[in-house]
Chains A and B, each alone.
Chain A
Amino acid sequence: MSEPDVGSYRRPDNLAEALTMLDRRPASVLAGGTDLVVLRADGTVDRAHDIVDIKGLSELRGISRDADGTLTIGAATTLRELARTTVVPPNAITDGAALVGGWQTRVRGTIGGNICRASPAGDTLPGILAAHAQLELASTTGTRLVPAHAFFTGPGRTVREPNELLTRVIVPASRGASAYLRFTYRRAMDLAVVGVAVHLEIENGRCVAARVALGAAAATPVPAPEAADALVGTELDEPSVAAAAQLVLNTATPIDDGRGSRAHRRTVLPVLAKRAIGIALERAREGHPR
């Protein structure tokens, strides 16, 4: 009886070694494994690929903010660490991290895994889009930065090359506040039917900058610039917010699937957007910097 080819399990000691492993043979990056173990078991990911376990690499862990306010999140930072960080106040990215799966999922799962899995429903993805985050990809030949909005190319697909490792998520400094909300049928252990992240900057009661991004509303997480632009210049009063929230539908191209119909998603999206704007506004007024 011949066994199917299974790649070997490898645990690099440092980042350079990890990059060499990814370069030399077909390999899958293993972080928390909460997606990868299932994807390998069901054949979506080739079992013949080596498994390069990066979760222990100190270069990829931790959350820090430098003097100018830039936030850096290591790709192997767990969702649990991110959800409870005190380095930054609650924001769209940490909101998303706190919603993923159950306790066991967040203890193990990482932000890098969430991003590289590239599920349209990934809960940290709208937040990184709304934050204008940059994703740092490293390989043996160097590193490059990809803006979050240019990273995702389809469900489960990204611009990452097979020999590249996502190393860091870099969030530029901003004076704004943000929030992420999703709609699910159960409070936990459910995937977003739709999700909305909102980033707001306010000066003297007036919105001076806004960004909106949607999850599970298209083949990739997408920005909703028309909704965002409609917020700028307003005092974020109820009618302005309601009108802007409606405009998310100009970007949303949701599908019909088991989680919800297209019509249902289009009904829920503006409501969710309105609520997310409300939370971001509350946080901005509380003076949460970021």
Chain B
Amino acid sequence: MTTHMTLRVNGSDHDITVAPDTLLLDALRYECGLTGAKLGCGTGDCGACTVTVDGEAVNSCLVYALECEGHAVETVEGATAGGIGALVAEEFVKADAVQCGFCSPGIIMSTCALLARTEPGAATDEDIKEALAGNLCRCTGYLPILEAVRRASGAPR
């Protein structure tokens, strides 16, 4: 049993077909062709699937696509196309905060949500850790990530 819906992602409307329990993550990847958000655990534990819905970071593996009808979804593809997201991505590269890269789209989305709710330079290390606690990275040891977020936070916007 499937239904049609309009999913607004990165500012564009996608007319897609979903089941009642199609995950936002799967709708993004298989219906919209946006493969930035990754399936890590599927249980909300790793954060690799993080996207924003109305500006808030959420685990797209725990959200049904139909819950997002009428809301604005942003993925790493949209967020890093320009503006603060592009700056965040640049700082991640400069700080060597990306190794295998599997966690990066999710971490960048959590970072974008953090920067959207804090003034330039205002995010403390505690704020950054709180914002990123739900994003696991198995490669970097987190210090380069922390550094990249600090720099992005401090940059003028």
Residues of A at the B interface (CB closer than 8 Å) are 3, 6-9, 11, 30, 33-34, 37-38, 40-41, 47, 51, 53, 55, 101-105, 107-108, 187-189
Can you give 18 A-B contacts (C-beta < 8 A)? A6-B19, A6-B20, A7-B20, A8-B20, A9-B3, A9-B20, A33-B62, A33-B64, A33-B67, A47-B21, A104-B134, A105-B44, A105-B59, A107-B57, A108-B56, A187-B133, A189-B45, A189-B133
Would A103 and B62 count as touching, CB distance under 8 A? no
Place the interface of chain B in its size category.
20 to 34
B43 interface residue, CB < 8 Å from A? yes
Find out whether the CB atom of B20 lies under 8 angstroms from the CB atom of A104.
Answer: no
Partner of B62, one of A8, A9, A38, A55: A38
Q: How far is the CB of A166 from chain B (nearest CB, A)?
A: 19
In contact, A105 and B42 (Cβ under 8 angstroms)? no
A40–B21 CB distance below 8 A: yes
Q: With the chains together, A85 CA to B42 CA distance in Å?
A: 30
Q: In the complex the two chains form, is A103's CB within 8 Å of B44's CB?
A: no
Measured CA separation A9–B23 after assembly (Å) = 12
A34, B47: Cα distance in complex, Å: 13
Within 8 A of A (CB), among B17-73: 19-21, 23, 42-45, 47, 50, 56-59, 61-64, 66-67
In the bound complex, residues from chain B placing their C-beta under 8 Å from that of A104 are 44, 47, 50, 57-59, 110, 134
Chain A residue contacts of B63, Cβ below 8 A: 33, 37, 108
Q: CA of A41 to CA of B23 in the docked complex: distance in angstroms?
A: 10
Establish whether residues A9 and B64, one from each chain, have CB atoms under 8 Å apart when the complex forms. yes
Most A CB contacts (10 A, CB to CB) among B45, B62, B113 go to: B62
Known A-B contacts A6-B1, A38-B44, A189-B45; A103 and B64 likewise in contact (beta carbons under 8 Å): no
* Cβ–Cβ contact B64 & A107, under 8 A: no
Docked-complex contact B62 and A188, CB < 8 angstroms: no
Q: Please, which residues of chain B bring their CB within 8 A of the CB of A37?
A: 21, 23, 61-64
Chain B residues with CB under 8 A of A51 = 20-21, 64
B131 within 8 A of A: yes
Q: In chain B, what residue has the closest Cβ to A186?
A: B133
Give the interface centre of A11, A37, A108 by most chain B CB atoms within 10 Å: A37
A8 / chain B contacts, CB cutoff of 8 Å: 1, 20
